[in-house]
Amino acid sequence: MAPDRLLRMSALAELTGGSLSRLSNVVKRLEQRGFVRREPDPADGRYTNAILTTEGWDKVVAAAPGHVEAVRHLVLDPLGPAQIAALGEIGEQLRAHVRGECAAPPPAETDC
């Protein structure tokens, strides 16, 4: 969902919570399938950009309905409203942690 379907590899690794070397291996396989391409960042050649190709975007669009259905069936359907709300709060806390931020104040039992 990034502008121009482009992200620096280092930013993508941070968003996915993975190492740059592991991401590089995954992107290499996606590149071989024509879903992604890598290019030096024109603003700073020390960085590499990952760019989702049109074929990659088409694959995402095609996979989305089945993915959404599976998540609903496996994750959301077994939960009640309070549990879904708690899951949302947990997700926000994890997202903030991955980004190196703190979500509005964490419960006493967690470290952010």
How confident is the model at residue 56, as a pLDDT? 97
Structure tokens given for 104:
């509005």
Mean of the per-residue pLDDT values for the chain? 89
Domain ranges of the chain: 3-98
pLDDT at 51 over 60: yes
CB neighbour list of residue 13: distance below 8 Å, 6 or more residues apart: 19, 20, 22, 23
- pLDDT, tens digit, for every residue of 71-109? 999 999 999 999 999 999 999 998 888 777 775 665 666
Name which of 46, 36, 52, 44 is nearest 3 in CA terms.
Answer: 52
Which CATH architecture fits 3-98?
Answer: Orthogonal Bundle (1.10)
